[in-house]
């Protein structure tokens, strides 16, 4: 029968568990993004002044971005291995075709943000010493990545959570 989940056979508990995990991870990732943005702002102030510790602050930001990337990749792997196949099963069962479009949009956001984060990490990890101009250019890549990811996390929630709520309400209505 494949991985198709007509709602009456889907485990509502599984849907709730997946949605709750998405919400928790999105909240944590959004907090980390906010912290990265604050660190970038601090670094830009440092770079515009005469402080000499810009390189240390920049490398600290690079490490934090690298750690964030690892957490984001773990989140994406879980989504791709568990959450999205579950949602795809619901979409293919004709219970909720909206999951198919949402999945495509989410995948494109992941790719775009990943490219920007990798570009920042590559430029930030360059062998040659970075001058202030190159640091600012690298920071702009990270800023774009953070913007894309902030929008992505918001959009993903706005797309998936209402669909999941509708499915659960339909299921609850049938069981009543």
Please report, in tens digits, the pLDDT of each residue of the chain (176 residues total).
445 444 554 567 888 899 999 999 999 999 999 999 999 998 888 887 765 677 888 888 999 999 999 999 999 899 889 988 887 777 665 555 566 666 667 778 778 888 999 999 988 887 677 788 888 889 999 999 999 999 888 988 888 888 788 777 776 665 54
Q: Which of 84, 82, 90, 119 is nearest to 105 (CA)?
A: 84
- Within a domain: residue 4? no
- Within a domain: residue 64? yes
- Within a domain: residue 156? yes
CB 48 within 8 A of CB 34: no
- Within a domain: residue 146? yes
Q: For residues 92 and 55, what is the distance between their CA atoms, to the nearest angstrom?
A: 51
- Within a domain: residue 5? no
| Structural domain count of the chain | 1
Residue 72 is given by DSSP the state: H
CB 25 within 8 A of CB 109: no
Structure tokens at 72: 């984001």
pTM here is: 0.81
Q: Which of 152, 166, 171 is nearest to 96 (CA)?
A: 166
Q: Which of 84, 150, 83 is nearest to 116 (CA)?
A: 150
Q: For residues 90 and 42, what is the distance between their CA atoms, to the nearest angstrom?
A: 45
Residue 129 is given by DSSP the state: P
| Residue 91: CATH number of its domain | 1.20.120
* Residue-range definition of the domain harbouring residue 99: 12-175
- Within a domain: residue 96? yes
- Within a domain: residue 21? yes
- Within a domain: residue 35? yes
């Amino acid at each position: 029968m494949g991985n198709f989940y007509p709602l009456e056979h889907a485990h509502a508990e599984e849907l709730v568990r997946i949605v709750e995990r998405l919400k928790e991870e999105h909240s944590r990732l959004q907090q980390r993004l906010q912290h990265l943005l604050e660190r970038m702002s601090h670094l830009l102030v440092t770079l515009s002044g005469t402080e000499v510790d810009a390189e240390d602050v920049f490398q600290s930001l690079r490490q934090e971005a690298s750690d964030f990337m690892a957490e984001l990749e773990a989140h994406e792997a879980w989504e791709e291995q568990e959450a999205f196949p579950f949602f795809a099963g619901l979409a293919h069962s004709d219970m909720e075709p909206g999951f198919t479009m949402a999945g495509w949009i989410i995948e494109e956001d992941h790719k775009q943000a990943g490219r920007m984060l990798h570009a920042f990490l590559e430029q930030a990890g360059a062998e040659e010493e970075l001058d202030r101009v190159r640091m600012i250019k690298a920071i702009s890549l990270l800023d774009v990545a953070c913007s894309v990811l902030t929008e992505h996390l918001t959009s993903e929630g706005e797309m998936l959570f209402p669909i999941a709520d509708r499915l659960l309400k339909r299921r609850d209505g049938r069981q009543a």
